[in-house]
Copies of this chain bind each other. A is one copy, B any other.
Amino acid sequence: MSHQSINAERLLTRIRELGAIGRNDQGQLTRLAASATDKLGRDRLVAWLRAAGLEIAVDRIGNIFGVWQSQDNAGQSPLMLGSHIDTVINAGIYDGSYGVLAALEVIETLKEQGFAPVRPIVVAAFTNEEGVRYAPDMLGSLVHGGGLAVEAALATVGTDGTTLGSELACIGYAGTAEPGFLKPHAYVELHIEQGPVLEREATTIGAVENLQGISWQRVTIDGVANHAGTTPMAMRSDAGLAAARVGLFLREHIARSNAPSVATIGTMRFEPDAINVIPSRAVFTIDLRDPDEDRLRALESALSGFLDRLEQEEHVIVSVERLARFEPVSFDGAIVAAIEVSAKARGLKSRRMTSGAGHDAQMIARIAPAAMIFVPSRDGISHNPREHTDPADLVAGANVLLDVAVRLAGSP
């Protein structure tokens, strides 16, 4: 294990500099995938990659790769380090960008120290991870991992009616490389936690061993609209009250089961949505997550049984539409162990953990051993201008990434 360290000042300056690109008149940061502001961020990243002496490759879905290879190791499958630089609307500066810029920082550090890796090391910045403009999220890494044909991905129509393919061409990032042309030996992604666990436990490093499965459903409950003043309580089919019971059932069920599952009803709409009319319809979404596939299935099944009972008890009709379903992902045990070893050697408190959010790493895990390193997020906040990680934690995470890169690229 090497105890060399990255250049903290260079990393932190670049994070701030990239975070200044794509701000509007009110100072809000928004770099939606394949937008004009995304182009500005990409241009800056590519300039940095070039300045570090890396070879640039852009594939057909716009994923950017900065490749450090030598005549000696050019035949080997590369170690890939990366994340994404697109953002949500009114974003923070760390989500995604931190992992990409730390990957670049690790390579520059290793080059400066004369390290000669036995395999190439690649910085990757994947297209449209956030999924705000084009669905699904993690699109670039999904295509890279072979989960979606590039033609289909390029034809994706965004929330603004644009097509991803033409927008990429428009900003000059419709590359020529065939997606997946770089098959990694291993993939490591450094990211802010976007949750409260590390901060709450005063732990600097999360060794992410798996990623939750996700089940998204849209539920429509149909009752009967009626006059709020003249319809006795016992004669109602109130779609709103029936909907209210679903979220409370899920919370109680999870509490009883003592599982780490989470359930969220994030959207809700009533019809006719009038103060003096009993709701005839409630439409809402359910987000269920659990790191264990069997437990996630059991939770889906319990929900389904409850909705059946709800139809009887509330005199309503329930229909369910599946919006998305991802099985949990298990990361590579050897990489997770290397993260823990590095943290220990550097005197950093670490813990194994599950990622509750989706990340590019889950897509690359389809084709290569992969894992993630998390650092704390203040108050667990992300996708928000208040997103913040202490500089010391940012540096610590990058140093762990450095150690893991040395381990994975330093030995045959």
Contact = CB atoms under 8 A, between A and B. Distances in A.
A229 B287 contact: yes
Contact of A230 (B226, B233, B251, B356): B356
A227 B387 CA distance: 12
A270 interface: yes
A245 B244 CA distance: 7
A315 interface: no
A150 B323 CA distance: 55
B262 A380 contact: no
A194 to B, nearest CB: 5
Interface stretch (A48-56, A68-76, A162-170, A276-284): A276-284
Contact of A268 (B273, B276, B285, B358): B273
Nearest to A254: B233
A244 B248 contact: yes
A260 B194 CA distance: 49
B260 A195 contact: no
A44 interface: no
A274 interface: yes
Contacts of A262: 228-229, 231-233
Interface extent on A, as a size class? 35 or more
Interface string A225-260: 111111111010010110111011001001100001
Nearest to A264: B228
Contact of A241 (B195, B265, B282): B265
A190 interface: no
A357 B255 contact: no
B267 A231 contact: no
A251 B275 contact: no
A229 B274 contact: no
Given A266-B277, A276-B264, A357 B229 contact: yes
A270 B273 contact: no
Contact of A233 (B263, B267, B323): B263
Contacts of A247: 238, 240-241, 244
A34 to B, nearest CB: 21
Given A262-B232, A273-B266, A248 B245 contact: yes
Contacts of A197: 230, 232
A310 interface: no
Contact of A231 (B195, B254, B282): B195
A54 to B, nearest CB: 32
Given A241-B251, A275-B285, A266 B228 contact: yes
Most buried by B among A247, A260, A355, A357: A247
A135 B9 CA distance: 63
Nearest to A274: B266
Nearest to A272: B266
14 contacts: A193-B230, A225-B384, A228-B262, A233-B255, A238-B247, A240-B266, A241-B247, A264-B275, A267-B273, A267-B275, A268-B273, A268-B279, A275-B285, A275-B287
Instruction: Rank and list the top 6 A-B pairs by shortest CB-CB distance, nearest first.
Output: A195-B230, A229-B356, A230-B356, A244-B244, A228-B264, A275-B285
Given A196-B226, A229-B262, A240-B247, 5 more contacts: A214-B229, A231-B380, A264-B277, A267-B270, A268-B279
